[in-house]
Amino acid sequence: MNANPSSSTRPEADFDVIVVGGGLGGLYTLYRMRELGLTARAFEAGSGLGGTWFWNRYPGCRCDVESLEYSYSFSPELEQEWHWPDRYGTQPQILEYIEHVADRLDLRKYVALNTRVLTATFDSATTLWTITTDKGDTVSAPYIVMATGNLSTPRVPDFPGLSRFQGESYHTGLWPHEGVDFTGKRVGIIGTGSSGVQSIPYLAEQAKHLHVFQRTANFILPARNAPMDPERERRHKATYRERRKAAYDTPFGIAGYPPPSKGALEATPEERDAAYTAKWGEGGSISFLYSFTDLLLDQQANDTAADFVRARIREVVKDSRTAELLCPTDHPIGTKRLILDTNYYETFNRDNVTLVDARNTPIECITPTGIRTSETSYQFDAIVFATGFDAMTGALREIDIRAGAGAEITSKWADGPHTYLGIMMAGFPNLFMVTGPQSPGVKSQMILAIEQHVNFIAGCLGHMQSEGFARIEADQEAEDRWVQYNDTVAQATLYPKANSWYMGANIPGKPRIFMPYVGGVHTYCQLCNDIVAKGYDGFTFSAI
Ligand code: N01
């Protein structure tokens, strides 16, 4: 194997690197590993590449980061060549882009599709990871990279009677490839997160009647999607390199939004209204959060933005009871993932759409013919579960990962994730994560986060090659400090106030710990660079 000269003491491995996942993270990992001269093989459960963008085919599925930003940055040629038709990419457009990249870099041949990794076991004596798959494969490599995604474990709540429903049922994250025609059907949809909010206007156009079961109202801002403005595309492409570089110096990994200079409470009510109105007109979530410096730090400041959004909801939704139900009141704006919509609130003005208050009249069970709440029974031909994911830790915990006695991922993460930088875990040598918990991944432009992580991992492996190391492990003390630091950073913000999937709050019994790093991409990248400059501070290398 090429990974390092001293590995001649190791038994022969099948590959230098095993990659788990064939989405944006897995593909970029393959690319970088091959650039290092390493042999790598990726294993992907889906029948195609693309990860999130392969599975989430529900109507209306679209990215909430602008398409000129939401793309790989490593190839100037690629970003110049590619044309995005819309301001925000649709799922088919993004999947087409991913497939194009895979073909262009000739990566398909390194991915085993339709293959789910079941176990990953480390043998300390040989310094090898061995995986087993649902296809019966047993494959070994000294390094394993988990590019398993943060929102890749779809979840349907354990409603009594679920299996007895006689109509059609779908989860937004497992949408049939051939699409679904709801024309003339009575449809119920459970969930009003991003997936629900994006699909509801489309379902409403087809269904005979659509009942929307909302447990928690969310803050939803206009996307203002539009066909790509050619002049905007030209300007963006002319400055792509500078923009990509500048993105690393921003909190959310996206350049081009002028940072705010003052707090909401320092502004007059008129100034606040003017700022929010301008951002509302512009569309987008980061731009809105950038109205003032303190929106995620100070409850009173946050209330001014929340009040603005609630006023807009009341303006659009004609039925006042429905409007009040749609007004979020239980969390500060921005502390759950902000949702971008097209025609969501307007949809509730249609005669064939009814909002059901699943907070005060909770869903009690699924019946053979529909849904029963504490108030009444509804009859449906189809139920759509837009009920989210076991986020951030679900995909990793689904794999039986073991690195020796006492080092099983399920016990290590029993009280929430423990990582160093979201990239490695103490006790799990040579196992890397791409945008793992306690990294800024989900709180940033995901593809930038992927590239930054994979570049860090490639840097580690390059360092090991040149120094003759065979084994890298995060130090327990460095991990403990990182976990504590993450918590301190999060507690200084309003984020932990929301019952969000960031907190594990959407899964009954999941530990309540704020999982993403929210100190900002700029700070995180600086910390990573400092760690490398100090000879990979917090990591221990050895020859075997
Ligand atoms: O999932 P969610 P999602 N009874 O967890 C409800 C990304 N994404 O798939 O809030 C009744 O946000 C639950 O209610 P509550 C994005 O990061 C991005 O929509 O728990 N309701 C909630 O309304 C996003 O944040 C894009 O009270 C129940 C919903 O189901 C993340 O994926 C598009 C329930 C789940 O919402 C997840 O979004 C799509 C129950 N027992 C997704 N259990 C874009 O880029 C759950 N719910 C635009």
Q: What is the pLDDT of residue 335?
A: 96
Ligand 1 atom nearest to 62, measured from its CA: 48
Mutate to test the pocket of ligand 1, among 58, 195, 503 (most ligand atoms within 8 A of CB): 195
Average pLDDT estimate for 469-477: 97
Q: What is the pLDDT of residue 5?
A: 34
Is the confidence at residue 8, as pLDDT, over 80?
A: no
pLDDT by residue (tens digit) across 402-418? 998 889 999 999 999 99
pLDDT bracket for residue 309 (50, 70, 90): very high
pLDDT by residue (tens digit) across 169-211? 999 999 999 999 999 999 999 999 999 999 999 999 999 999 9
Copy the structure tokens of residue 22. 């064939």
Full-prediction pTM beyond 0.85?
yes
Is the confidence at residue 283, as pLDDT, over 60?
A: yes
Average pLDDT estimate for 295-315: 98
Residue 204 one-letter amino acid: A
Q: Ligand 1 pocket, 195 CB below 6 A?
A: yes
pLDDT by residue (tens digit) across 17-43? 999 999 999 999 999 999 999 999 999
Alpha carbons 346 and 208: distance in angstroms, whole number: 17
Is the confidence at residue 1, as pLDDT, over 50?
A: no
Q: Cβ contacts of residue 161 below 8 Å, gap of 6+?
A: 365, 366, 367, 368
pLDDT bracket for residue 7 (50, 70, 90): very low
Q: What is the pLDDT of residue 258?
A: 85
Q: Could you give the strand order of the β-sheet that contains 370-373, starting from the edge strand earlier in sequence?
A: 363-367, 370-373, 377-379
Q: What is the pLDDT of residue 11?
A: 74
Are 120 and 400 spatial neighbours (Cβ–Cβ below 8 Å)? yes
Q: What is the pLDDT of residue 259?
A: 87
Is the confidence at residue 16, as pLDDT, over 70?
A: yes
Q: What is the pLDDT of residue 544?
A: 77
**133 alpha carbon – ligand 1 mean position (Å):** 29
For the chain, the domains span 5-153+391-542
- The top-level CATH class assigned to 5-153+391-542 is alpha beta
Is the confidence at residue 123, as pLDDT, over 60?
A: yes
Q: Average pLDDT over the chain, rounded to whole?
A: 96
Residue 253 one-letter amino acid: G
Q: What is the pLDDT of residue 257?
A: 87
Average pLDDT estimate for 303-319: 98
Q: Ligand 1 pocket, 64 CB below 6 A?
A: yes
pLDDT bracket for residue 6 (50, 70, 90): very low
**201 alpha carbon – ligand 1 mean position (Å):** 16
Ligand 1 atom nearest to 388, measured from its CA: 1
Q: Cβ contacts of residue 230 below 8 Å, gap of 6+?
A: none
Q: What's the residue count for the chain? A: 544
Average pLDDT estimate for 216-224: 97
Q: Cβ contacts of residue 371 below 8 Å, gap of 6+?
A: 188, 190, 211, 213, 363, 365, 377, 378, 380, 383
Q: What is the pLDDT of residue 406?
A: 80
pLDDT bracket for residue 2 (50, 70, 90): very low
Average pLDDT estimate for 255-270: 93
Q: What is the pLDDT of residue 10?
A: 66
Residue 382 one-letter amino acid: A
Alpha carbons 20 and 174: distance in angstroms, whole number: 19
Mutate to test the pocket of ligand 1, among 52, 174, 194 (most ligand atoms within 8 A of CB): 194
Average pLDDT estimate for 228-240: 97
Tell me whether strands 128-133 and 117-123 are parallel, antiparallel or unpaired.
Answer: antiparallel
pLDDT by residue (tens digit) across 445-465? 999 999 999 999 999 999 999
pLDDT by residue (tens digit) across 326-383? 999 999 999 999 999 999 999 999 999 999 999 999 999 999 999 999 999 999 999 9
Q: Ligand 1 pocket, 336 CB below 6 A?
A: no
Q: Ligand 1 pocket, 151 CB below 6 A?
A: yes
Q: Ligand 1 pocket, 501 CB below 6 A?
A: yes
